[in-house]
Amino acid sequence: MADAPEMSSLEKKVSDQVEYYFGDHNLPRDKFLKEQLQVDDGWVTLETMLKFNRLKNITSDVSVIVGALLKSQTGLLEISEDKTKIRRNPKKPLPEDNEEYRDILKHKSIYMKGFPLDTTLDEVKEWLSDKGTIENIYMRKGPLKTFKGSIFAVLESEEAAKAFVARDDVKEYKGNEMIVMTKEEYFSKKIAERKHNRAEAKAKAKSDKDDKQKQAEEEELKSLNDQRGCLLKFSGELGQTSREDFHKVFADHARIKWIDFIRGAKEGTILFHSKAQEALQKAREAQEGEDLKVKDQVVHWEVLEGETEMETLKKIIEDQQESLNKRKGGRGGQRGRGRGRGGRRDRGGREQARFQGKKTKFESDEEADEEEASPKKRPLDSNGQDNGEPVSKQAKSETSA
């Protein structure tokens, strides 16, 4: 068997680039090139191939491209008789994109990080050229389509990938320390980091919730303490006495914040803005009698103290919050409940305390790592690179090989 014709450096670059376009890694992702394959039984004109920037930047001479492909020993491509078209060899079909193939691909891929952000694909290819057979290089990019300083590279086998990671000459690039690991190790690390972040977020959320609960309890206690001595309980045969009647009795002596009373009941409570004993004393003096009556009804009055007072205050706060929530829901004040302000705006007690909590908002901790996204989700150009452009423009936006 005759020796294979030797390739020049230029021919090697041309052959590698064209075969990359039709290779296992790029062709399944390249919508533009796959559309061209449908036109003429898989044949693509060299004129069309020269629309790809990376190839055109290497050479625009058709004879050089043909000569390079004729010398190639891979057998991946066929050249038409008139030497104007090329296609992938039908005897070398694309591998089936299934779970088994993706698993094999993952196990023979490596991850590298540490490249300067202005590093080009050609520089990476040149640096890796003597470090093993590299089938594909993916330059990872961020949201602004700028290089992140890390790559994924596919080698010829899982053993080759493990051997590559163990090499000493891949630990440093232009003075930068490199992080090198298999792609499987990289994903395992990412999963562990996400679990740790979720646990931290959960712990922080619980801590924040506990802090807010504690703060709410402290504020509630402070509010209760501020209102101690302001509760007045009344009882008796009250008949059809209403809350309006109680407002009239105290209107000129104290401001009422809240009345808990239902018409027809025999007892209720009044919460004043000021001390209940002072309000009661002033109202009695105004009626010039020891027994302060309401609508000519004899009423027993008692200023609440101690635990009874605190429990009643807590109940009033709950009723105030419930009333506030119902008004926000557009259902009005539910007058039939018999609790609340109960008077017109020019009456005493027209103000109502607001005790409203604040809903805690949790940030989602499920943000996916961009390299785990399926390549089918976004169109990729003829170099396996997501460039964010319409398919019709992909042939002119090449950044990967």
Residues 171 and 181 in one domain: yes
Residues 101 and 217 in one domain: yes
Residues 31 and 61 in one domain: yes
Domain boundary among 226, 247, 263: 226
Cβ-based burial of 50 (10 A; exposed 0-12, middle 13-18, buried ≥19) = middle
How large is the average pLDDT for residues 226-251? 89
Residues 118 and 185 in one domain: yes
Number of domains in the chain: 3
Residue 143's domain comprises: 97-226
- Would you place residue 358 in the very low, low, confident or very high pLDDT band (cuts 50, 70, 90)? very low
Domain boundary among 31, 57, 88: 88
- Would you place residue 322 in the very low, low, confident or very high pLDDT band (cuts 50, 70, 90)? confident
Task: Report which of residues 96 and 233 the model is more confident about.
Answer: 233
Q: Is the pLDDT of residue 205 over 70?
A: yes
Q: Is residue 256 one of the residues assigned to a domain?
A: yes
Cβ-based burial of 248 (10 A; exposed 0-12, middle 13-18, buried ≥19) = middle
- Write down the pTM of the prediction: 0.51
392 contacts: CB under 8 Å, gap ≥ 6: 32
pLDDT digits (tens, 9 = 90+) for 116-145: 999 999 899 999 988 888 889 999 998 888
Q: What is the model's pLDDT at position 45?
A: 94
CATH number at residue 112: 3.30.70.330
Q: Is residue 346 one of the residues assigned to a domain?
A: no
Q: Is residue 135 one of the residues assigned to a domain?
A: yes
Domain boundary among 340, 370, 396: 340
CATH number at residue 82: 1.10.10.10
Contact 312, 276 (CB under 8 A): no
Q: How open is the CA angle 353-260-355, to the nearest 5 degrees?
A: 20
Q: Is residue 381 one of the residues assigned to a domain?
A: no
Task: Report which of residues 287 and 200 the model is more confident about.
Answer: 200
Lowest model confidence (mean pLDDT) among 14-23, 194-203, 293-302, 340-349: 340-349
Q: Is residue 398 one of the residues assigned to a domain?
A: no
Residues 199 and 138 in one domain: yes
Q: How open is the CA angle 364-368-369, to the nearest 5 degrees?
A: 135
Place of tokens 């200023």: 303
Residues 169 and 283 in one domain: no
Cβ-based burial of 391 (10 A; exposed 0-12, middle 13-18, buried ≥19) = middle
Residues 117 and 217 in one domain: yes
Q: Is the pLDDT of residue 214 over 60?
A: yes
303 token code pair: 């200023």
Residues 110 and 53 in one domain: no
Q: What is the model's pLDDT at position 330?
A: 60
Residues 42 and 76 in one domain: yes
